[in-house]
A and B are shown apart, each in its own frame.
Chain A
Amino acid sequence: MTMTHNYLEMRGISKHFGATKALDGVNFSCVPGEIHAVLGENGAGKSTLMKLISGLFKPTSGDILLEGKKIDLKSPKMARELGLICMFQELSLVPDLTVRENLLLSARGSGLGWLKSDSLDLARDVLDQIDGEDILFSQRVADLTLPARQQVEIAKAIMMRPKLLILDEATSALNSSVVEKVFTRVRQERDSGTSILFISHRFHEIEALADRISVFRNGQCVDTFAQGEHDYGEIIDMMVGQKIDELFPPKPAPIKDAPAALQIENFSWGDELKSIFLTARKGQITGLGGLDGQGQNKLLLGLFGLLKKTQGRVIISDKHVDIRSPGHAKKTEIGLALIPEDRKTEGLIQDQTISENLQLAALGAKDLDAKDPSLYAASLDQLELKHGGLDLPVSSLSGGNQQKVVLAKWLALKPKCLLLADPTRGIDVKTKTQIYAILRKLADEGTAIILLSTDYEELIHLCDETHIFYDGKIVSSLEGDQMTAQNIIAASMNIPAGAGSDTISETHDA
């Protein structure tokens, strides 16, 4: 690899949204034939940088140079024609069109007129290579699973024959064997001279793929260095700007025979949940693990009264309950709260103010005064919500801070049992530690917590017990020392613990 010339160079780039400086005088460059990882917490400016390169935003000041020439990116279309292709974190596929139609729309040289289908073969090849043989071109995108959509996104991006390919959390929903195949393909693209910008929150992916790493913090590019120059700890310090001693709060010794807050017996729902038995105890954090879509999320929805025709029994405080709606679930005698998977559209109302969002769950509750700010103050203080005033729209907050609002909104009801659907997905390290700390504190105060997580580190370090789901069933329940990465991953793939653990650890330590 020769560092003779930059393919893309950004000089003194700033992007301001009102008073917020998303990017502040950033210098950044990438050369052909390298994989350049971009790291940083949420709100550090990574996504803004990518959106500038892909023509979605225009910089407030500064220059973008392509092969040494200054360019003015007017639209995503123009960026694409120049070969700057971004595979977005928020999926850019049109749900109501078929895979084929989506690819046609994005193919090179497509306009409003007749569409050319000659690049489709390439897309098919890529799909086949990354484990997507089963994805038919005639399928509607809305009918595809999330991982399948990501595979199509990847195929679509490579089909456009990028000179600069941006992968923004491109593999977040894929399992490790598919990720490995995607990486193989990405390396091929690099070797044929493409520059690749890679954004991920998974350190082992960055270690596996990146040639160079740039770290962003508070809208500035802190440092750029070759892979291997700094270790994890140093990189995290760079990202956070301060030393984080411990990601996870210390785990207290498990309380033996703590009283059950919630018991689930023989809980089933169609084909997606099959005879689930589970007990959440006061003061304990119970983990739900497994690959995406194995039923763990459906269990949370079912508990919160969102599924019709569930079978089995749910027992809360020794009483058999039949929860019919979220309104019913949040009543004091049941005392459930759900932090939903998608905080943007399910947890919050983006157009309303922070305080209006905080009040929504408590409003109308009998013995609470929802308008009393002290109801939320304690949780907000502990979570260190950063805001410019509670009367600002909640959309003005970063993702991590939005999640804090969702938490505080539900904690105001003092739930007896807190259900969380992957609360830290796509959230920066600092916010994660704050969320972990408050969960631990709630548990210590006696709340039963059910934590669904796709991050096995969270299951290991936070939970007293973890149930792994596969195909709608709990295939493994792990406690104490049994909760190891190997065991969790093996159970997620429904492989008996021990067998084949070598191969699995290889893919993960690679």
Chain B
Amino acid sequence: MIKSITLDSLMPYFGAIVLIGIGSLFFPQILSAGYLLQQLQIAAFLGLLATGATVIILLGHIDLSVPWVLTGAAIISTALVGSGDPFFIAISIPAALLFGAFIGIVNGVGVAILRIPSMVWTLAVNSILLGLAVLNTGGFNPKGEASPLMIGMASGNLFGIPTGFLLWMVVAICLALFLNRTPFGRYLRSIGYNEKATFLSGVSTPSVIFFAFAMAGMCSALGGVLLAGYANQAYQSMGDPFLLPTIAAVVVGGTSILGGRGSLFGTVGGVLFITLLTSILSVMQIGDAWRNMIFGFVILAMLLFQTLRKSAQS
């Protein structure tokens, strides 16, 4: 566990502290518990997605189907709740998770069996899901509503701490333990570094890939359920704005986009950093244009700093 705490993975935490420090110079209310807790609540959505994305990126792949897995899960869960049938309401969240796992397996089949680059295959899967959603809802916002449980998960508090954040932490910690304590975690990283050598060592690499994509799909689906609970509805394209920040959060957290190296600990920091950055820029009422530019520059600066630190070391 301690091994995953590297300087790279600590960087976003330092960054987040610096952001809070700078932000509080202009707006002291940033230092209030209320504001910070609210950030933790908002970070939960990105956090769940980035947790799944970390697994896939450690594997050396990428999952571009996140947006419509999220939207699809939100549509399914709200539609089931909207039906009013107690049984359907009860299975609304498991059904959404099952959907995420199923799409994950579809992703895994394309990547592990057909050997299609994940960037292309998950993109195609994403566009099929989009097509299904459009056909299903007629292009309008889907009907349905969130259940009290979903709303509670997204917007509730437990001992003053947002439940969304707690949920994210539980998922992230369980997954981190799983990756560090079981052979699966080792297989995952080994495939990220060198799939051929891993296969030749007698590891069933396709199963590892299926399982990883299924887990990532479930993370995205849970993110969708949470977001639907927060908005009390599902809406078209609700996942689109999350795709790139998800990848950014994972990378800023010190995980190598080439696979193998990185940790969920770093991703949590990356998510907090990105969430704070977005929030502080909007608190400061900076326009869309500048917000985009600053976002890009800050991510580049973080990554350049990683490079600089490494070349200074060697």
Q: Kindly state whether residue B307 has any CB partner on chain A within 8 Å.
A: no
For A351, the closest partner residue in chain B by CB is B193
Most chain B beta-carbon contacts within 10 A, residue among A347, A350, A356, A363: A363
Interface contact tally, CB-CB below 8 A: 62
Least Cβ distance of B113 to chain A in Å? 13
For B196, the closest partner residue in chain A by CB is A346
Do B200 and A347 touch (CB < 8 A)?
A: yes
Do B201 and A409 touch (CB < 8 A)?
A: yes
Do B197 and A326 touch (CB < 8 A)?
A: no
Do A348 and B183 touch (CB < 8 A)?
A: no
Bound state CA distance, A350 and B200, in angstroms? 14
What mask results when residues 170 to 202 of chain B are scored 1 for a CB within 8 Å of chain A, else 0?
000000000000010011011001101111111
Residues of chain B within 8 A (CB-CB) of A20 are none
For A330, the closest partner residue in chain B by CB is B202
Do B200 and A346 touch (CB < 8 A)?
A: yes
Q: Kindly state whether residue A361 has any CB partner on chain B within 8 Å.
A: yes
The residue from A304, A325, A409 contacting B204, defined by CB atoms under 8 A apart: A325
Do B186 and A349 touch (CB < 8 A)?
A: no
Do A356 and B186 touch (CB < 8 A)?
A: yes
Residues of chain A within 8 A (CB-CB) of B199 are 325-326
Contacts A350-B194, A351-B193, A352-B193; A326 near B186 (Cβ below 8 A): no
Do A361 and B201 touch (CB < 8 A)?
A: yes
Least Cβ distance of A402 to chain B in Å? 12
Most chain B beta-carbon contacts within 10 A, residue among A18, A329, A346, A370: A346
Bound state CA distance, A356 and B260, in angstroms? 12
Least Cβ distance of B310 to chain A in Å? 14
Residues of chain A within 8 A (CB-CB) of B186 are 356, 359-360, 363
Do B197 and A349 touch (CB < 8 A)?
A: yes
Q: Which residues in chain A, 307-350, are within 8 Å of chain B measured between CB atoms? A: 325-327, 329-330, 338, 340, 345-350
Bound state CA distance, A330 and B187, in angstroms? 16
Q: Kindly state whether residue A364 has any CB partner on chain B within 8 Å.
A: yes
Contacts A363-B186, A363-B187; A326 near B202 (Cβ below 8 A): yes
Do A360 and B198 touch (CB < 8 A)?
A: yes
Q: Kindly state whether residue B203 has any CB partner on chain A within 8 Å.
A: yes
Most chain A beta-carbon contacts within 10 A, residue among B189, B193, B201, B204: B201
Residues of chain B within 8 A (CB-CB) of A346 are 196-197, 200
Q: Kindly state whether residue B261 has any CB partner on chain A within 8 Å.
A: yes
What mask results when residues 258 to 287 of chain B are scored 1 for a CB within 8 Å of chain A, else 0?
001100000000000000000000000000
Bound state CA distance, A361 and B194, in angstroms? 14
Q: Which residues in chain B, 190-242, are within 8 Å of chain A measured between CB atoms? A: 190, 193-194, 196-204
Do A361 and B202 touch (CB < 8 A)?
A: yes
Residues of chain B within 8 A (CB-CB) of A329 are 202
Residues of chain B within 8 A (CB-CB) of A338 are 200
The residue from A330, A351, A359 contacting B260, defined by CB atoms under 8 A apart: A351
Contacts A325-B204, A338-B200; A364 near B183 (Cβ below 8 A): yes
Do A349 and B200 touch (CB < 8 A)?
A: no
Residues of chain B within 8 A (CB-CB) of A359 are 186
Residues of chain A within 8 A (CB-CB) of B196 are 345-346
Interface size on B, residues (CB 8 A): 19
Least Cβ distance of A343 to chain B in Å? 9
Do B194 and A349 touch (CB < 8 A)?
A: yes
Contacts A349-B193, A351-B261; A326 near B200 (Cβ below 8 A): yes
Least Cβ distance of B197 to chain A in Å? 5
The residue from B194, B203, B261, B314 contacting A327, defined by CB atoms under 8 A apart: B203
Most chain B beta-carbon contacts within 10 A, residue among A329, A352, A409: A352
Taking residues whose C-beta sits less than 8 angstroms from the other chain, chain A's interface range is: 20 to 34
Q: Which residues in chain A, 173-206, are within 8 Å of chain B measured between CB atoms? A: none
Residues of chain A within 8 A (CB-CB) of B194 are 345, 348-351
Residues of chain B within 8 A (CB-CB) of A361 are 201-202
Contacts A356-B186, A363-B183, A363-B187; A345 near B201 (Cβ below 8 A): no
For A340, the closest partner residue in chain B by CB is B200
Most chain B beta-carbon contacts within 10 A, residue among A304, A326, A329, A350: A326
Q: Which residues in chain B, 297-314, are within 8 Å of chain A measured between CB atoms? A: 314
Bound state CA distance, A359 and B198, in angstroms? 11
Do A327 and B204 touch (CB < 8 A)?
A: yes
Bound state CA distance, A363 and B187, in angstroms? 9
Bound state CA distance, A359 and B196, in angstroms? 16
Residues of chain B within 8 A (CB-CB) of A325 are 199, 202, 204
Least Cβ distance of B188 to chain A in Å? 12
Most chain B beta-carbon contacts within 10 A, residue among A326, A338, A349: A349
Residues of chain B within 8 A (CB-CB) of A363 are 183, 186-187, 203
Do B204 and A360 touch (CB < 8 A)?
A: no
Residues of chain B within 8 A (CB-CB) of A348 are 194, 197
For B205, the closest partner residue in chain A by CB is A327
Least Cβ distance of B117 to chain A in Å? 16
Residues of chain B within 8 A (CB-CB) of A326 are 199-203
Bound state CA distance, A326 and B204, in angstroms? 8
Q: Which residues in chain A, 350-370, are within 8 Å of chain B measured between CB atoms? A: 350-352, 356, 359-361, 363-364, 370
Least Cβ distance of A20 to chain B in Å? 14
Least Cβ distance of B298 to chain A in Å? 28
Least Cβ distance of B71 to chain A in Å? 36
Residues of chain A within 8 A (CB-CB) of B260 are 351-352
For A391, the closest partner residue in chain B by CB is B3
The residue from A330, A340, A349, A409 contacting B198, defined by CB atoms under 8 A apart: A349
Most chain B beta-carbon contacts within 10 A, residue among A18, A347, A364: A364
Bound state CA distance, A350 and B194, in angstroms? 8
The residue from B190, B200, B202 contacting A352, defined by CB atoms under 8 A apart: B190
Residues of chain A within 8 A (CB-CB) of B201 are 326, 360-361, 409
Do B193 and A360 touch (CB < 8 A)?
A: no
Bound state CA distance, A474 and B290, in angstroms? 72
Bound state CA distance, A364 and B190, in angstroms? 14
Bound state CA distance, A495 and B204, in angstroms? 43
What mask results when residues 364 to 403 of chain A are scored 1 for a CB within 8 Å of chain B, else 0?
1000001000000000000000000000000000000000
Do A345 and B202 touch (CB < 8 A)?
A: no
Residues of chain A within 8 A (CB-CB) of B314 are 18
Residues of chain B within 8 A (CB-CB) of A350 are 193-194
Bound state CA distance, A351 and B197, in angstroms? 12
Least Cβ distance of A484 to chain B in Å? 35
**Chain A interface residues (CB < 8 Å from chain B):** 18, 304, 325-327, 329-330, 338, 340, 345-352, 356, 359-361, 363-364, 370, 409
List of 9 A-B pairs having minimum Cβ-Cβ separation, nearest first: A330-B202, A364-B183, A363-B183, A326-B202, A360-B201, A327-B202, A349-B194, A361-B201, A351-B193
For this complex, 14 residue pairs linking A to B, each with C-beta atoms less than 8 Å apart, are: A18-B314, A325-B199, A327-B203, A345-B194, A345-B197, A349-B190, A352-B260, A359-B186, A360-B197, A360-B203, A361-B202, A364-B203, A370-B183, A409-B201
Given A346-B200, A363-B183, A364-B187, list of 16 further CB < 8 A pairs?
A: A18-B314, A325-B199, A329-B202, A345-B196, A346-B197, A349-B194, A349-B197, A349-B198, A350-B193, A351-B193, A351-B261, A352-B260, A356-B186, A360-B198, A364-B203, A370-B183
